Amino acid sequence: MFGYRKDGEKCRFKEPFMLGVDQAYWNSKLPPLWKKIKEASDDRAFVILLALVIEHLVDETLETWMPRYKALSEHQDFNFSIKLELLNALSLVPGFIIRGSHCIRQLRNDFAHDLNIEKLEQLAKKVEMLRNLSDEVVVQKDLVKGSSARDLAKFLSFVVCVGLLGYRENMKYLRKAIEKDDYLNGLKSRLNEEIMTK
């Protein structure tokens, strides 16, 4: 249906380890969150909910990798944009997920700061961004061409959410691996071998 990685994009993981996803966690997260989004009556509520869901998943993803993340996330100036830049700096998820998240974040900001905006269609440049980002990942390009702004935002957010949930698992397993003593002992041995070789 869709793919994330573009040639030349620097990301440690080439794909999410979807087989490792905890089904109970997945089912407890995505369906209830998506139900709330579907119930949003107007575009303002819809976009704000999309951004809240994505920011929540970004928080969980970062917390998976950084055990002391909670202390960082409690700082007042640590906003959604900075969280996305931090996630991007780790290079553990594809840039598309970051770009898609930023796009939804920008839509939210437009609605949050301008009472005159009532419909997504009023944000022509951002809707074009939605269309372009959705076009990057969808296999059947015709699906994107005829889609409404709301459908594009919903599609892009869904792809971002699925990506965050999938790559969160990659990060969880990598974190578990580096915390094991045998991994650290092996790393120390390899480092000592390199030093001796030099």
What is residue 1's predicted lDDT score, i.e. its pLDDT? 41
Beta-strand (E) ranges in 16-84? none
CA distances 154 to 40, 68, 100, 150, Å, are: 12, 32, 11, 6
What is residue 76's predicted lDDT score, i.e. its pLDDT? 83
Domain ranges of the chain: 21-197
Using alpha carbons, select from 38, 1, 66 the residue that is nearest to residue 154: 38
Q: What is the pTM for the complete model shown?
A: 0.85
More confident position, 73 or 82: 82
Q: Which two tokens stand for residue 57?
A: 């998943």
What is residue 131's predicted lDDT score, i.e. its pLDDT? 87
Categorize the per-residue pLDDT at 194 as very low, low, confident or very high, splitting at 50, 70 and 90.
Answer: confident
What is residue 146's predicted lDDT score, i.e. its pLDDT? 66
Return d(Cα 196, Cα 181) in angstroms, integer.
22
What is residue 98's predicted lDDT score, i.e. its pLDDT? 94
Sequence length of the chain is 198
Q: Is the pLDDT of residue 107 over 90?
A: yes
What is residue 9's predicted lDDT score, i.e. its pLDDT? 66
Among 15-29, 39-53, 144-158, the range scoring the smallest mean pLDDT is: 15-29
Return d(Cα 121, Cα 124) in angstroms, integer.
6
- What DSSP designation does 12 have? S
What is residue 74's predicted lDDT score, i.e. its pLDDT? 86
What is residue 73's predicted lDDT score, i.e. its pLDDT? 83
Torsion of CA 107, 111, 112, 115, to 10 degrees: 160
What is residue 85's predicted lDDT score, i.e. its pLDDT? 96
Q: Is the pLDDT of residue 17 over 90?
A: no
32-76 confidence digits (pLDDT tens): 878 888 888 899 999 999 999 999 999 999 999 999 999 888 888
Using alpha carbons, select from 173, 1, 2, 25 the residue that is nearest to residue 97: 2
Q: Is the pLDDT of residue 4 over 90?
A: no
More confident position, 159 or 30: 159
Q: Is the pLDDT of residue 7 over 80?
A: no
127-147 confidence digits (pLDDT tens): 899 988 888 877 666 666 668
Mean per-residue pLDDT over the chain, rounded = 85
